[in-house]
C-alpha cells in the first residue's frame, strides 16, 4: 500500500461575493413579495456573504461542471498538467443533469488530450468526501499514481423564485395562504455556489506543503433515522419518501417536488449528537489523542450549530479549544459537498501550517444522517 498525499488544492468561487441584502435581487421574489423568514434564517446561520453562479437577472453564468473544471484548472502547473491526470473523482449534490454523470461532464469541460478514469459521487454534503475517498483508495492501492478529487455545488439555480411560484399559484387556487413551506424556503437562504479541487499523489511535493492522508472514515445512521434532507420526492406521514416518478407530472411543479427540502425538527434533534458519536468512534478506532489535533475543520451548514458542536464533541472527551477551529462559512457560505474542500484549500495555502501538525476534517450530512471524518498530517 502507498502513502497518499494531498499535494495541491484549488478553489473557484463564481462572480462577486453577494451580501445578505442583495440575495433576493439575484434569486427573485416568490409571489412578488419579500420573504418574511429570510432575516431570521440569516441571523441564525451567521453567513454574511456567499457566491452565486447567477447574474442580477437570475441568469446562470456557469454550470456546475464549469465551476468544477475551473477549480481543477488551478491545480495545473509545470509539474502537473491536465494530461497527467489518471483519475477524476467528482462529488456533488447539484449536478446539472440526471445523466450523463457529473464527472463525465467535468471531463468534457477540461478537454484533456487523453481518456482517463472517472468517478461520480452523488448525494449530499458527504458526496465530496466520498469522491475524495475513491481517489485516496485508488492511489493507496497503487491502481493510480494520482487522482484529482472535487466537491462542488451550483445551488442557486435551484433556488430562483420561478422554481417556487407554481407552488404559490396552486395554494391560491386552494384558497390557502400563498406562502412556500418553511422546509422549502429554509434552504434558499442557506446555500451557495462554488467548487474545490484536491490533487492526490503517491509522493509529497518537494519544496511545498503536502498533507498525508492518514485515514477517511464514514458512518451512516439511516438504519435508525428517517430522511431529513431530500429532493425529487415528498415526505409522507409515516416518514417514508414518495418519489417524483410516482406523482402525476402536473404535480411536479405544484408541489415543488424537485426543491431541496429539510426537516428542521430532525436536524436539531440529531445532527450534532450523531456527529459527536461518529467522531468518537473514529478516535477510538485509531487511538487518537484529541490534544494532538492542531486544526479542526468541521463543515457546518449554519453558525447556529457552532457552539453546540463544540459542546457535543467535548461531552464525548474531544474538547478542542476555539483556537484550533478553522471556519470560513460566514465569508463563502454553505457550499455543501464543496465546503470542506474550500476551507481546506484556504488553510493549506494560508502559510500557517507547519510540518508534523495534524488537521482533522469532519463532515456531517443530514440527508439521512451520515458522517465522515479524515485525519491529515502536514509534511
Looking at the structure, do residues 42 and 171 belong to the same domain, yes or no?
yes
Looking at the structure, do residues 223 and 126 belong to the same domain, yes or no?
no
Show the cell assigned to 188: 434558499
Residues 6+ apart with CB under 8 A from 71: 10, 11, 12, 150, 152, 194, 195, 196, 197, 341
Looking at the structure, do residues 143 and 242 belong to the same domain, yes or no?
no
Looking at the structure, do residues 205 and 218 belong to the same domain, yes or no?
no
Compare 98 and 256 and report the one with higher pLDDT. 98
Question: 36-88, pLDDT tens digit by residue?
Answer: 889 989 999 999 999 999 999 999 999 999 999 999 999 999 999 999 999 99
Looking at the structure, do residues 32 and 76 belong to the same domain, yes or no?
yes
What percentage of the chain reaches a pLDDT higher than 90?
83
What is residue 32's predicted lDDT score, i.e. its pLDDT? 83
Domain that holds residue 139: 5-210
Strands 229-230 and 261-262: antiparallel
> 182 pLDDT band (50/70/90 cuts)?
low
Q: What is the mean pLDDT of residues 95-124?
A: 97
Looking at the structure, do residues 172 and 238 belong to the same domain, yes or no?
no
| Residue at a domain's end among 176, 210, 244 | 210
**Could you give the number of structural domains in the chain?**
2
| Residue at a domain's end among 149, 184, 210 | 210
Looking at the structure, do residues 194 and 230 belong to the same domain, yes or no?
no
What is residue 176's predicted lDDT score, i.e. its pLDDT? 52
Domain harbouring 34, CATH code: 3.40.47.10
Residue 178 in this model has a pLDDT that exceeds 50:
no
Amino acid at each position: 500500500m502507498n502513502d497518499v498525499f494531498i499535494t495541491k488544492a484549488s478553489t473557484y468561487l463564481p462572480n462577486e461575493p453577494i451580501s445578505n441584502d442583495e440575495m433576493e435581487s439575484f434569486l427573485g421574489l416568490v409571489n412578488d413579495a419579500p420573504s418574511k423568514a429570510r432575516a431570521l434564517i440569516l441571523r441564525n446561520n451567521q453567513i454574511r456573504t456567499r457566491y452565486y453562479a447567477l447574474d442580477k437577472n437570475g441568469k446562470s453564468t456557469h454550470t456546475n461542471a464549469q465551476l468544477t473544471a475551473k477549480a481543477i484548472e488551478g491545480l495545473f502547473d509545470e509539474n502537473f498538467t491536465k494530461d497527467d491526470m489518471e483519475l477524476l473523482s467528482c462529488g456533488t449534490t447539484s449536478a446539472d443533469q440526471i445523466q450523463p454523470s457529473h464527472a463525465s461532464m467535468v471531463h468534457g469541460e477540461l478537454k484533456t488530450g487523453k481518456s482517463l478514469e472517472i468517478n461520480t459521487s452523488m448525494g449530499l454534503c458527504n458526496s465530496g468526501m466520498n469522491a475524495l475517498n475513491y481517489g485516496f483508495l485508488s492511489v493507496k492501492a497503487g491502481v493510480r499514481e494520482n487522482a484529482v478529487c472535487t466537491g462542488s455545488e451550483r445551488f442557486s439555480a435551484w433556488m430562483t423564485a420561478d422554481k417556487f411560484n407554481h407552488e404559490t399559484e396552486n395554494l391560491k387556487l386552494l384558497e390557502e395562504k400563498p406562502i412556500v413551506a418553511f422546509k422549502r424556503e429554509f434552504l434558499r437562504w442557506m446555500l451557495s455556489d462554488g467548487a474545490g479541487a484536491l490533487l492526490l499523489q503517491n509522493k509529497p511535493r518537494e519544496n511545498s506543503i503536502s498533507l498525508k492522508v492518514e485515514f477517511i472514515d464514514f458512518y451512516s445512521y439511516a438504519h435508525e433515522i428517517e430522511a431529513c434532507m431530500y429532493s425529487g420526492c415528498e415526505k409522507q406521514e409515516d416518514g417514508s419518501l414518495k418519489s417524483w416518478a410516482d406523482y402525476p407530472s402536473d404535480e411536479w411543479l405544484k408541489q415543488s417536488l424537485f426543491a431541496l427540502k429539510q426537516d428542521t425538527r430532525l436536524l436539531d434533534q440529531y445532527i450534532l449528537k450523531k456527529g459527536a458519536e461518529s467522531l468518537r468512534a473514529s478516535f477510538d478506532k485509531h487511538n487518537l489523542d484529541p490534544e494532538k489535533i492542531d486544526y479542526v475543520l468541521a463543515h457546518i451548514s449554519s453558525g447556529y450549530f457552532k457552539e453546540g458542536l463544540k459542546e457535543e464533541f467535548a461531552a464525548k472527551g474531544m474538547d478542542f479549544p476555539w483556537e484550533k477551529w478553522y471556519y470560513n462559512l460566514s465569508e463563502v457560505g454553505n457550499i455543501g459537498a464543496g465546503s470542506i474542500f474550500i476551507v481546506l484549500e484556504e488553510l493549506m495555502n494560508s502559510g500557517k501550517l507547519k510540518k508534523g501538525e495534524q488537521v482533522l476534517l469532519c463532515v456531517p450530512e443530514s440527508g439521512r444522517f451520515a458522517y465522515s471524518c479524515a485525519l491529515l498530517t502536514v509534511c
